[in-house]
């Protein structure tokens, strides 16, 4: 093989490698934008449904697409295209209305036009209390190896969706609220860890516009103990919460 032929062969190999990488990146971008996007959980506001260190897939197509469906919010339109309304009980990821650089994940409790209030820890939707049943305590591990029992409740929304919530007290700052009237085109979101969730009960979040929804949480695909780096694969036998992998989040 001549020098020129060798150079052509090498250039062709580099071109093919670059082409494969570009195609893979484009495919990943398409999947992330239109189908599924991975998220990880950094806080305990959705305990015990979601724990710190959970990694989950969010379906981008569940509610249609807004400009927030695209990387950096780069899209030449406002509102939503191919919209599908969120349902009560959905666990959804959305852009924080007061700072759209921040992603939040909470549960849909109030729909447009609803009146929402919390009285002594019980959620009222249009002046009707949400069914709330005390069940076994949630046992939480402390950083020092101890255990703390946290009161746990089974709530059932008017559409039949049931889920567990944690509530240390029924007399906290957000356990007795004013009546919130959800505007059209907005939703009222709450965390399942009721005394440790900054959600629509607080002005930092407030009512969430439909446009801010990114997608619906679908399934936990990986989980490591809170504070453990996921990339330390040599610790996986001990740090991975194997029983949480594959847990569905749909109602």
Low-confidence residues of the chain: pLDDT under 50: 3, 5, 7-8
Task: For residue 241, give the nearest of 227, 138, 146, 251 by alpha carbon.
Answer: 227
Q: What is the pTM assigned to this prediction?
A: 0.83
> In the chain, what are the domains?
3-244 (2.10.109.10)
Query: Three-state secondary structure along 15-49?
Result: HHHHHHHHHHHHHHHHHHHHHEEEEECCCCCCCCC
> What pLDDT shows up at residue 13?
63
**CB half-sphere exposure, 149, CA atoms < 13 A:** 4
> What pLDDT shows up at residue 46?
97
> What pLDDT shows up at residue 45?
95
> What pLDDT shows up at residue 121?
94
153-199 pLDDT, tens digit per residue, is 999 999 999 999 999 988 888 999 999 999 999 999 999 999 999 99
> What pLDDT shows up at residue 29?
55
| Residues labelled as active-site residues | 45, 106
> What pLDDT shows up at residue 7?
47
> What pLDDT shows up at residue 81?
81
- Locate 192 and state its tokens: 């399942």
> What pLDDT shows up at residue 85?
95
């Amino acid at each position: 093989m001549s020098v020129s032929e060798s150079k052509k062969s090498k250039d062709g190999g580099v071109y093919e490698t670059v082409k494969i990488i570009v195609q893979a990146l484009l495919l990943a971008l398409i999947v992330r934008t239109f189908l599924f996007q991975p998220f990880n959980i950094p806080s305990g506001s959705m305990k015990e449904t979601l724990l710190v260190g959970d990694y989950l897939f969010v379906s981008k197509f569940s509610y249609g697409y807004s400009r927030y469906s695209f990387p950096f919010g780069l899209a030449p339109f406002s509102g939503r295209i191919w919209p599908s309304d969120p349902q009560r009980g959905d666990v959804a990821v959305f852009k924080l209305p007061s700072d759209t650089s921040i992603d939040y994940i909470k549960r849909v409790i109030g729909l447009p036009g609803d009146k929402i209030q919390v009285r002594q820890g019980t959620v009222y939707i249009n002046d009707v209390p949400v069914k709330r049943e005390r069940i076994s305590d949630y046992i939480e591990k402390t950083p020092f190896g101890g255990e703390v029992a946290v009161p746990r409740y089974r709530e059932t929304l008017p559409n039949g969706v049931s889920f567990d919530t944690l509530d240390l007290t029924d007399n906290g700052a957000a356990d007795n609220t004013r009546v919130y009237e959800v505007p059209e085109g907005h939703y009222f979101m709450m965390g399942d860890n009721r005394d440790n969730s900054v959600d629509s009960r607080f002005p930092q979040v407030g009512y969430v516009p439909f446009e801010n929804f990114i997608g619906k949480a679908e399934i936990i695909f990986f989980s490591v103990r809170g504070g453990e780096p996921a990339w330390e694969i040599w610790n996986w036998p001990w740090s991975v919460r194997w029983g949480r992998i594959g847990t569905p989040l749909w109602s």
